[in-house]
Amino acid sequence: MNIMADRQLSYDQKLVQLKVLEDNYTYVLLWATKALVVDPGDGKEVWTFIEKQKLTLENILITHYHSDHAGGGVYLKKKTGCKIIGPEDKRILELDRSVDGEEELILGPFSIEVLSTPGHTNPHIVYFFRDLDLLFSGDLLFSGGAGRLFEGTPQEMWNSLKKVMALPDDTSIYCGHEYTVKNLEFAHQIEPDNPEILVHLDRVKRLVNEGKSTIPSLLVDEKRINPFLRVDSQPLKDHLGLPNADPITVFAHLRKLKDKW
Active site residue 139: yes
Catalytic site residue from 39, 42, 89, 177 = 177
Q: Is 120 a catalytic residue?
A: yes
CB atoms within 10 A of CB 98: 15
Catalytic residue check, 200: no
The single residue of 39, 42, 68, 89 carrying the catalytic annotation is 68
Residue 112 · residue 104 · CB < 8 Å: yes
> Is 66 in the active site?
yes
The HSE-up count of residue 71 (CA atoms within 13 Å, CB side) is 12
- Confirm whether 124 is a catalytic residue: no
Out of 42, 120, 124, 188, which one is annotated catalytic? 120
d(CA 4, CA 215): 9
| Candidates 39, 42, 89, 139; catalytic one | 139
Choose the catalytic residue: 66, 124, 188, 200. 66
Annotated catalytic residue 253: no
Q: Which of 39, 69, 89, 200 is catalytic?
A: 69
68 is catalytic: yes
Please report, for residues 7, 142, 204, 255, the alpha-carbon distance to residue 14 in angstroms, rounded to integers and kept in the order given. Answer: 6, 22, 23, 35
Distance between CA atoms of residues 53 and 33, nearest Å? 8
Polymer length of the chain: 261
Residues marked active site are found at 64, 66, 68-69, 120, 139, 177
